[in-house]
Amino acid sequence: MSFRPCFLSQIVIDESSDQQVIFVTEREGGRRIPITIGPLEAMAIDRAIKGQRFKRPLTHDLLIAVLERLNATCREVRIVDLREGIFYAQIILVTGDGREIILDCRPSDAIAVMVRIPQVPLLIAEEVLAEAGG
């Protein structure tokens, strides 16, 4: 499977809707994918980008704290598939002893983790970009 580097280019939050949209754009080539996500996930992504902190950790902050305590790192996040209008993602972890762990997840959760760790790249499968990128 071939992957292309991408970035989170836009978050559209409509507080009157149950569904929000994030846009992911290819770094070279400019194809752009809209991904519909829930309002809580959109707020988690938006608040992390704005650097807002809370007294208690949110779920994505908790995951990162667990990784740190286990001496593991997030190497990358990937959007790997699009089936029946649903995007599928993975978080790729590396343990302290160098083992790779691939976790299946929703794209919104992968991106919520990614925006909290700025060096983590977002990769999208070429097939997904070809099908959904406009």
Domain boundaries, the chain: 3-132
pLDDT for 14? 82
Indicate the pLDDT class of residue 19, thresholds 50, 70 and 90.
confident
pLDDT at position 38 over 80: yes
- Mean of per-residue pLDDT scores for the chain: 93
Q: What is the pLDDT of residues 97-134, one digit of tens each?
A: 999 999 999 999 999 999 999 899 999 999 999 999 86
Q: What is the pLDDT of residues 50-94, one digit of tens each?
A: 988 888 888 888 999 999 999 999 999 999 999 999 999 999 999
With a pLDDT cut of 90, the percent of the chain lying above it is 75
CA distances from 120 to 2, 14, 41, 92 (A): 18, 27, 18, 10
Which residue in the block uniquely carries the two structure tokens 């991408």? 6
pLDDT at position 13 over 90: no
Reported in sequence order, the residue ranges of 1-134 that DSSP labels E, i.e. its strands, are: 3-12, 20-26, 32-37, 73-83, 86-94, 100-105, 122-125
pLDDT for 18? 82
- Which of residues 3 and 55 earns the better pLDDT score? 3
Tokens read off for 33: 């994918």
Is 88 exposed, middle or buried (CB count within 10 Å of its CB: 0-12, 13-18, 19+)?
middle
CATH number (3.40.228.10, 3.10.690.10, 3.90.650.10, 3.30.420.10) of 3-132 reads: 3.10.690.10
Which H or E run includes 64?
helix 59-69
Per the CB < 8 A criterion, the answer to whether 21 and 36 are in contact is yes
CA distances from 125 to 25, 29, 84, 87, 94 (A): 12, 14, 16, 11, 20
pLDDT for 17? 81
